[in-house]
Structure 1
Amino acid sequence: MGGNQPWAAGAFELIMDESKAGHCLWITNRRGMEYWPSPSEEAKYLIRRFRRRSDFKAPSIKPPESFEKIVVHTLTHNFRNATSVVRTSLRLPIKPKHVLVKIIYAGVNASDVNFSSGHYFGGNNNDTASRLPFDAGFEAVGIIAAVGGSVTDLKIGMPCAFMTFGGYAEFIMIPSKHALPVPRPDPEVVAMLTSGLTASIAQEKSFRLYTEKAGQMESGKVVLVTAAAGGTGQFAVQLAKLAGNTVVATCGGGAKAKLLKELGVDRVIDYHSEDVKTVLREEFPKGIDIIYESVGGDMLNLCLNALAVHGRLIVIGMISQSDRRVYEAGLEIAYQGEKGWTPSKYPGLLEKLLAKSQTVSGFFLVQYGHLWQEHLDGLFNLYSTGKLKVAIDPKKFIGLHSAADAVEYLHSGKSVGKVVVSVDPSFLPQVAKL
């Protein structure tokens, strides 16, 4: 506080109005007492938590006696061979601290095949095999169909999202603390879950690139995103751009390149028509400051060589490191094999990092669960205000029996945007909104 007006008046104002916690009270002779930021300034620069849209009318949902779900019955990286659709009875009553969710859309992820091979449970193969069968799927959105007696903050008919095992199902019973309230059970919200949250939280925690706290926002860097037209890449390029950076993106194919240009990427490198290594060396001779990498293998090695002095690289996946390549009906299924992703060797890695004071880190979304709701709110705010676009791959996968097709399609390299399965197509149309 400044100026000549008594400090006591300002102190009394702060005590009386607790709603202003976190604001600055500024006092001058000319303007008297005023809070900063003012409402007009706050509207310009801050991203508010979303408010639920009132236009969604939840249908009446009667909990069924039984429902279908996908389970993993055999440990293999081949999702089709590992899984089957089974019918199971709904166990009633609903547990006191749980909710029953009617699933509308389920998200498809590269890690579905890693999960079906048992790599997410730790321990040895015998320990994992003892868990069989277990439910498949990581993420979904739907409508709360029933609530347990101890649940007070969630209501029947509320749209919600979740990220727990068992997303490939018609219904699921989950602890209420795992239900993330959302405005609508749309496919765009599915894209914001594993894919969007990975980009948002990883960039904030690892790069401090995009955050609502302006004091932590980093800009003016050259950012490279690999596999940028996929589920998480589309978010990574936009968030990096919103933070004021020059964004470079790699992809394979004209449709993907077109999408990335529409998303505002400064330099799109289509590796079907250009050599990524040559472009980076000639157009960015000082190197890349920040790299968001999800391909692995040769691409990761190329990125390490392109990293600038003090550069930072984060690994969020390694979709190219498959055990072997299989072709079915002309379609390359790059993930099929019994061992899953094959570790790669990077000779001279430590020497490279030391010579340029570089940093390489990994990011695993499940270890940041305490940030999910906050970042999901932020992503939906950006989307609803037109600052963020969400691309849903136009290829339709209807019903749980199409999930294996969807997983294979994702790994074929042909998808553009987020791949989703419409578990119950009778609710909302699956449309890419750009």
Structure 2
Amino acid sequence: LFSSRFVGINASDINYSAGRYDASVKPPFDIGFEGVGEVVALGLSASADYTVGQAVAYVKAGSFAEYTVVPAKQAVPLPSVKPEFLTLMVSGATAYISLKELGELSEGKKVLVTAAAGGTGQFAVQLAKKAKCHVIGTCSSDEKGGFLKSIGCDRTINYKTENVESVLRKDYPEGVDVVYESIGGKMFDLALNSLATKGRLIVIGFIAGYQNPTGLQPIKAESLPAKLLKKSASIRGFFLNHYLSEYKMALKHLLKMYERGDLACEVDFGDMSPEGKFTGLESVFRAVDYMYMGKNIGKIVVELPHSVNSKL
């Protein structure tokens, strides 16, 4: 039994609550995917590995709760209860495993990351830089652009003030080797067109369509086969649940990177949102809206103080 102190907000929260991951799940059901907190009670099978009061992180459906029961195998011991560790559980692991398994990164490759200042994008940027790639990141504000530069992004594109397609055509006429894509719709089409010969488009999401009834935004699919053939390019989808065998190794590596100071884990508590910091379960709804408005820099996290009495 864990007492949760921090829970993470993910774009897929809307997909899960809409039944797109498991149509057999009917309301009411618990949502949320990840948390960081402390052990408050132990079952017999967990007592050998954990102690009461120990800091832990966990990935489990239904994490939007002040207290939650988690199988020991789904928990990860931590040195302390810090929100930065939460950023690694889904977002960091997604970036690490997808780039390792699908990216084929090497020195000098050009990598375009869309939504680069978001929860997962921040890690895609840093990991690509660790691989000595040239990294381009799209974002929606100069503030986000400044953050991206601080974590090593070579070229930032504020799509509110610059035309992404024009910038890519001018600055990267031969195309980019890898696109790390999470937006969908028009950005997907643009990303596909920007690929170099033998380029790879990694799709980890399509947030632009998640709030639609179908969960999708239209793309120019009729020209897709010809475009892939012409460039010997590929599109590679990534869903974390299909790579669980790689998860613990990835998380161990990311935790070591963070503890060495080799990885920035930006957390956004919504301090600058109109109603203030995301505190308590009742603020989860605001936090999800904040993400879909594109306001966040880094991973959105909700704090659950011990003194909070949930209004849900």
CA contact (8 A) 2:208 2:217 kept: no
Distance change (3 Å), C-alpha of 1:425 and 1:298: farther
Corresponding letter in the other structure for 1:414: K
1:4-403 equivalences in 2 (<5 Å): 100-122=1-23, 127-128=24-25, 131-151=26-46, 152-209=48-105, 218-322=106-210, 335=211, 337-342=212-217, 344-395=219-270, 396-403=277-284
Q: Write out per-residue CA displacement over residues 286-321 of structure 1, whole angstroms, 9 at most, x where no aligned residue.
A: 110011000100001001001000101100010112
Distance 1:281 1:108 in 2: 34
Moved over 4 A (4+): none
Distance change (3 Å), C-alpha of 1:338 and 1:286: closer
CA contact (8 A) 1:227 1:249 kept: yes
Q: Report which structure shows greater RCO (CA 8 Å, sep ≥6).
A: 2
Secondary structure of residue in 1 paired with 2:70: strand
CA contact (8 A) 1:113 1:340 kept: no
Q: How far is 1:208 from its partner?
A: 3.6
Q: Write out per-residue CA displacement over residues 65-111 of structure 1, whole angstroms, 9 at most, x where no aligned residue.
A: xxxxxxxxxxxxxxxxxxxxxxxxxxxxxxxxxxx111110000111
| Greater helix content | 2
Deviates more, 1:364-373 or 1:306-315: 364-373
Identical-pair percentage: 45
Distance change (3 Å), C-alpha of 1:360 and 1:339: closer
Secondary structure of residue in 2 paired with 1:103: strand
Corresponding letter in the other structure for 1:102: S
Total equivalences in the alignment: 301
Residue in structure 1 matched with residue 273 of structure 2 by the alignment: none
Q: How far is 1:260 from its partner?
A: 0.3
Secondary structure of residue in 2 paired with 1:421: strand
Q: CA RMSD in A?
A: 1.6
Q: Write out per-residue CA displacement over residues 205-230 of structure 1, whole angstroms, 9 at most, x where no aligned residue.
A: 11143xxxxxxxx2220011000000
Q: How far is 1:373 from its partner?
A: 2.0
Q: Write out per-residue CA displacement over residues 128-184 of structure 1, whole angstroms, 9 at most, x where no aligned residue.
A: 4xx321111011111111111122222222211111101100111121111112222
Distance change (3 Å), C-alpha of 1:425 and 1:292: farther
Distance change (3 Å), C-alpha of 1:114 and 1:356: same
Larger radius of gyration: 1
Q: Which runs of 5+ in 2 are unaligned?
A: 271-276
Corresponding letter in the other structure for 2:168: L
Corresponding letter in the other structure for 1:190: L
Residue in structure 1 matched with residue 274 of structure 2 by the alignment: none
Distance 1:255 1:425 in 2: 33
Residue in structure 2 matched with residue 416 of structure 1 by the alignment: 297
Distance 2:104 2:188 in 1: 21
Q: Which runs of 5+ in 1 are unaligned?
A: 1-99, 210-217, 323-334, 428-434
Distance change (3 Å), C-alpha of 1:343 and 1:159: farther
Corresponding letter in the other structure for 2:116: A
